[in-house]
Structure 1
Amino acid sequence: MTETTLPNNLYKVFKLIPLGMALPISATDLAMHTHSDVRTVRENIRKLIIDYGIPICGNRDTHGGYYIPKNDTERLAGVLPLQRQQNEEYKRINALLNADLNDWRKYRDV
């Protein structure tokens, strides 16, 4: 990527994301500080990661939020939950593709 500037809406989110996973910032807090909504924040995070190559990870525990990893350990801590989610989504896709389009009725027509 040769571009060195971010669109203003993305920069507003980017500058608030802390370096290191010790004090991540939540999507709700990012939305409040950028005067947007959580859905927009998540889309902006996605763009920063995919379109600009910025390594933003998310922590999904009770004190979850976004952060830029300082090292490979922090990066891995952010990637593992995504891999677990990917595996669960794959299971769901397979179940939907293999589901009998009529068999489910037995649960409703009791």
Structure 2
Amino acid sequence: MAADHVGLCYAALVTAGGIIGFIKAGSTTSLAAGLLFGFLAALGAYLNNTWISLGTCGTLALVMGTRFLTSFKLMPAGLMMILSVLMVLKIVSSMTKRHMTLHKISTWG
């Protein structure tokens, strides 16, 4: 099974965001979080492991959503929240399609 290319792009954006946060603000927390979550997102995408991907994107959606609601700053919290929610929706949609396909196959026999 091929790697999830959208998920790999998401992982690259998360990693780049952490690096940019470190360069612009000197935030080692942003760097560490960006590298950790970028790695986990890339791992989930490369292995096509929906649970790793869902956990990573869901956690980032919650954390960045909370930051966005307290600051109302689109960059970086709002953008990462939007991207993470879109990834969660993509993952859940693909899980639902896969489940429906397996259900159809099992009811034919």
Same fold at TM > 0.5: no
TM-score scaled to structure 2, two decimals?
0.34
* Larger helix proportion of the pair: 2
Task: Give the structure with higher Rg (CA).
Answer: 1
TM-score by length of 1: 0.34
